[in-house]
């Protein structure tokens, strides 16, 4: 007998509240709930679901949470479970955005944001290295390098490079099999000059056009929010990324801070709605075909190019994030954070909290603020 919706809401809401640490933590919590404790899903089916959502664009851990709720309680359960997984972190990050993006926040709060933001580039390198190491092969190097270069230099056009890498990998696979693959051309429409239309396009890129999730969305948002539309300063954007790391739930919540900068709470909710909607649509529309997706060689060939390019983009995003720092003490925090994260393998959330506390103390001591 399937569990009641109240159980889905309670269990998925709990994961949304305690899910610090990004996708690895979310996957572990979902596995403990659905496979080990409740035994709603068989272990091999859970592993297949992880593989399937990694073939889809957008935030994989969000899609996995929606899929697990779908398997347990059908479409209505998927909607309830997915929303309860997303909402706790979304509410918290919007409340923090209101404080950090206020017209005149207290100096200690500005310092905390500047300190945590200074560590973000090191977090990006840690995330990229951790993801690349298990899947490292010589054939992936060109895609990784292209993704890193694009994230460091192309900003809003990064999504085109990710798609092009996937299509190039597919074309090479088809030609190796003796199938003619015509030249590939990409046409991408861009949003208008700003406002809610541009915000919707940014959120759509985050939720439906990005492979790799997590930090791969950072250069996409940074180019739109800071360089193209000037919704935020570099310092404010770094704060937004840090908030996305220290709050529970998916890192895609960061787009809600960008939306808040554009149009307040309404803008934040709109950005989150557009960014997360594709995850629900992909899963509700295709959950029964996940096994077919895993056997589809064309889909796997596309991912063989797009996925390593996305991982390279995570590494490349560290360059514009570090370049946005303006104070000497932020550079010192970045160096210390890199030591903690890369050499000592400290946790991401504790490192960001230490960096934020250091920044707050520097501000209270009268240090310069960005």
pLDDT value of residue 188: 46
- Answer yes or no: pTM beyond 0.85: no
Task: Round to whole Å and give the CA distance between 122 and 202.
Answer: 24
Cα 51–Cα 54–Cα 57 angle in degrees, nearest 5: 150
Using alpha carbons, select from 246, 252, 221, 200 the residue that is nearest to residue 321: 221
Contact 65, 216 (CB under 8 A): no
Digit-by-digit pLDDT tens for the chain (370 residues) are: 889 999 999 999 999 998 887 787 888 899 999 999 999 999 988 888 887 887 788 888 899 999 999 999 999 999 999 999 999 999 999 999 999 998 888 889 889 989 988 998 898 888 888 877 766 777 788 988 998 898 888 876 777 888 888 888 888 887 776 665 555 444 444 444 568 999 999 999 888 876 655 677 888 888 899 988 999 999 999 999 899 888 888 888 999 999 999 999 999 999 999 999 999 998 888 877 777 776 778 877 887 888 788 778 888 888 988 988 989 999 999 999 999 999 998 888 889 899 999 999 999 999 998 8
User: Within a 13 Å sphere around the CA of 156, how many CA atoms are in the beta-carbon half?
Assistant: 17
| Letter string b/e over residues 141-178, b meaning 16 or more CB atoms within 10 A of that residue's CB | ebbbebbbbbbbebbbebbebbbbbbbbbbbebbeeee
Cα 217–Cα 102–Cα 357 angle in degrees, nearest 5: 70
Using alpha carbons, select from 108, 107, 99, 82 the residue that is nearest to residue 16: 82
Contact 226, 63 (CB under 8 A): no
Q: How many CB atoms lie within 10 A of CB 106?
A: 13
- Which tokens in the block code for residue 33? 């709930």
Domain ranges of the chain: 89-364
User: What crossing angle do the helices spanning 43-53 and 23-31 adopt, rounded to 10°?
Assistant: 150
Q: How many CB atoms lie within 10 A of CB 138?
A: 6
Q: What is the DSSP string of 98-138?
A: HHHTSSS--HHHHHHHHHHHHTHHHHHHHHHHHHHGGG--G
Task: Round to whole Å and give the CA distance between 86 and 74.
Answer: 18
* Residues 6+ away with beta carbon under 8 Å from 61: 22, 23, 26, 27, 30, 213, 250
Q: What is the DSSP code (8-state) at residue 61? A: H
Kindly tell me the burial class for residue 102, based on how many C-beta atoms sit within 10 Å of its own C-beta (0-12, 13-18, 19 or more).
exposed
Place of tokens 């999504």: 159
Helix (H) or strand (E) holding 258: helix 254-286
Q: How many CB atoms lie within 10 A of CB 369?
A: 17
249 Rama sector, left if φ>0, alpha if ψ -120 to 50, beta otherwise: left
Using alpha carbons, select from 327, 345, 335, 113 the residue that is nearest to residue 240: 113
Cα 22–Cα 232–Cα 202 angle in degrees, nearest 5: 60
Q: What is the DSSP code (8-state) at residue 187? A: -
Using alpha carbons, list the distances in angstroms from residue 331 to 134, 321, 339, 356: 30, 11, 13, 13
Helices (H) and strands (E) in the chain, counts: 17, 0
Task: Round to whole Å and give the CA distance between 200 and 272.
Answer: 10
């Amino acid at each position: 007998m399937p569990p009641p919706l109240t159980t889905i809401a309670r269990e998925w809401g709990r994961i949304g509240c305690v899910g610090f640490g990004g996708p690895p933590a979310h996957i572990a919590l979902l596995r403990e709930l659905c496979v080990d404790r409740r035994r709603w899903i068989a272990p091999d089916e859970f592993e297949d679901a992880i593989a399937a959502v990694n073939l889809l664009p957008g935030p994989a851990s969000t899609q996995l949470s929606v899929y697990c709720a779908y398997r347990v309680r059908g479409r209505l359960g998927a909607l309830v479970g997915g929303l309860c997984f997303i909402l706790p972190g979304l509410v918290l990050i919007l409340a923090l955005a209101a404080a950090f993006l206020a017209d005149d926040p207290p100096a200690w709060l500005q310092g905390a944001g500047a300190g945590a933001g200074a560590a973000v580039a090191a977090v990006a390198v840690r995330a990229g290295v951790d993801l690349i190491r298990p899947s490292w092969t010589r054939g992936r190097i060109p895609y990784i390098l292209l993704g890193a270069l694009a994230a460091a230099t192309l900003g809003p056009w990064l999504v085109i490079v990710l798609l092009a890498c996937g299509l190039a990998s597919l074309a090479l696979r088809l030609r190796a099999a003796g199938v003619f693959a015509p030249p590939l051309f990409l046409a991408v429409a861009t949003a208008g000059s700003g406002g809610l239309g541009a915000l919707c396009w940014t959120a759509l890129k985050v939720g439906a056009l990005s492979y790799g999730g997590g930090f791969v969305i950072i250069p996409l948002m940074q180019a739109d929010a800071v360089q193209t539309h000037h919704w935020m300063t570099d310092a404010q954007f770094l704060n937004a990324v840090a908030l996305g790391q220290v709050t529970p739930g998916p890192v895609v919540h960061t787009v809600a801070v960008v939306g808040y900068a554009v149009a307040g709470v309404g803008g934040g909710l709109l950005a989150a709605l557009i960014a997360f909607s594709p995850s629900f649509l992909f899963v509700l529309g295709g959950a029964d075909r996940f096994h077919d997706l895993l056997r589809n060689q064309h889909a796997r060939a596309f991912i063989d190019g797009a996925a390593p390019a996305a991982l390279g983009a995570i590494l490349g995003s560290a360059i514009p994030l570090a370049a946005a720092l303006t104070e000497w003490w932020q550079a010192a925090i970045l160096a210390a954070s890199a030591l903690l994260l890369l050499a000592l393998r400290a946790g991401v959330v504790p490192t960001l909290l230490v960096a934020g506390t250091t920044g707050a103390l520097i501000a209270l001591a009268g240090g310069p603020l960005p």
